[in-house]
A and B are shown apart, each in its own frame.
Chain A
Amino acid sequence: AQSVTQLDSHVSVSEGTPVLLRCNYSSSYSPSLFWYVQHPNKGLQLLLKYTSAATLVKGINGFEAEFKKSETSFHLTKPSAHMSDAAEYFCVVSSSGGSNYKLTFGKGTLLTVNP
């Protein structure tokens, strides 16, 4: 079975400084990995997706993530935080084979951006 661990439940940064949200996964196969963002009272929006192509994945709103198999990590970064980035972020892994529609979510990281 696969699992996802988001290492920080809450990250606080100042506007204009870099963002790092950490995610480690456990999987017995080559996984598909995603980052989603959820703003208050909204659904989840896909930021980016890794599916065994390039290990550095660029997403929307200036976010990117790097897949590191040796470290089983898929950390999300952004060079400069904006106030509108304040939200909850979920690292997600999909199952394998015939169940690859089934997503397993991390517990989420709440990002606070201070002016």
Chain B
Amino acid sequence: GAGVSQSPSNKVTEKGKDVELRCDPISGHTALYWYRQSLGQGLEFLIYFQGNSAPDKSGLPSDRFSAERTGGSVSTLTIQRTQQEDSAVYLCASSAQGGNQPQHFGDGTRLSIL
């Protein structure tokens, strides 16, 4: 029933700290995606999961960014040693399968790095 759920909705942290962002996809959706939305860059693809595997990590901007998915459900995006340029809205989406199935988005986590 519920849509894609992301937490926290807002996160403010100091430069250099690590942060974890959580995504709970629609039940039964095997595909999960992370995107970043920032003023200068628009919406950017970060990573794609099919089940617990990530066949495409090509959008992760640096090795400070990592993501995992467990039980074919919840996913966590971790940013280590945060920098000010990491400030953005991080959006998670899920779809019933991979391919060009419609992706359903959560409301995002607004991350601010001081």
Contact = CB atoms under 8 A, between A and B. Distances in A.
A103 B104 CA distance: 12
A90 B4 CA distance: 19
A102 B91 contact: no
Contacts of B104: 46
Interface in B48-71: 48, 56
Interface class of chain B by DSSP = strand
Given A45-B105, A51-B100, A99 B56 contact: yes
B43 to A, nearest CB: 4
A81 B68 CA distance: 42
Contact of B108 (A43, A100, A107): A43
Which size bracket describes the interface of B in this complex? 20 to 34
Nearest to B33: A101
B41 to A, nearest CB: 10
Interface of A: 32, 34, 36, 41-46, 49, 51, 90, 94, 99-103, 105-108
Interface of B: 4, 31, 33, 42-43, 45, 48, 56, 91, 93, 95, 98-108, 110
17 contacts: A34-B102, A42-B108, A43-B4, A43-B91, A43-B105, A43-B107, A43-B108, A44-B91, A44-B93, A46-B102, A94-B100, A100-B98, A100-B100, A101-B98, A101-B99, A101-B100, A108-B42
